[in-house]
């Protein structure tokens, strides 16, 4: 389940590519607020900027902590379903997280969501 996350699962930016480092590394121009992050990334960790820069998350809104983590919270439950295994039924909820669109919603176990967000089931 989501919660406090490192930067890896979510793309932020865009950032200017300064130079290529070897076969698969790229050095990026990062702002001073990200000075604790190494500025060379493997190509698999980068994503081509396909959106208009105004649609990107401003770094000031991330509320990044000194250990380079930030907190995400559940906005709403979009859908529910049941997954049947051989021995039990698992209830699942499709949830939308802050700063994510409906298309980026994830399926989470209902029991985990009930523990963390009991107000959603009142």
- Looking at the whole model, is its pTM more than 0.75? no
- Residue pair 82/90 in contact (Cβ under 8 Å)? The answer is yes
Domain segments of the chain: what residues? Answer: 4-71, 74-121
Bridge partner residues of 76 (DSSP): 96
Cα(30)–Cα(17) distance, integer angstroms: 9
Assign domain 74-121 to a CATH class: mainly beta
Please report the pLDDT score of residue 30 as a whole number: 85
Average pLDDT across the chain, whole number: 78
The structure tokens 């049941």 sit at: 82
pLDDT grade for 61, boundaries at 50, 70 and 90 = low
Please check whether residue 66 is in contact with residue 109, taking contact to mean a CB–CB distance below 8 angstroms: no
For the record, the structure tokens of 20 come out as 């290529």
Predicted confidence band of residue 106 (pLDDT cuts 50, 70, 90): confident
What does the pLDDT average to over 90-110? 86
pLDDT of residue 55: 53
């Amino acid at each position: 389940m989501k919660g406090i996350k490192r930067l890896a699962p979510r793309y932020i930016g865009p950032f200017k590519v300064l130079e290529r480092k070897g076969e698969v590394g790229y050095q990026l121009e990062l702002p001073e607020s990200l000075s604790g992050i190494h500025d060379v990334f493997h190509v698999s960790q980068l994503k081509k900027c396909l959106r208009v820069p105004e649609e990107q998350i401003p770094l000031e809104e991330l509320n990044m902590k000194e250990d380079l983590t930030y907190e995400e919270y559940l906005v709403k439950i979009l859908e529910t379903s049941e997954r049947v295994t051989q021995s039990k039924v698992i209830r699942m909820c499709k949830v939308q997280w802050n700063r994510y669109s409906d298309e980026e919603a994830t399926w989470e176990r209902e029991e985990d969501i009930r523990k963390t967000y009991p107000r959603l089931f009142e």
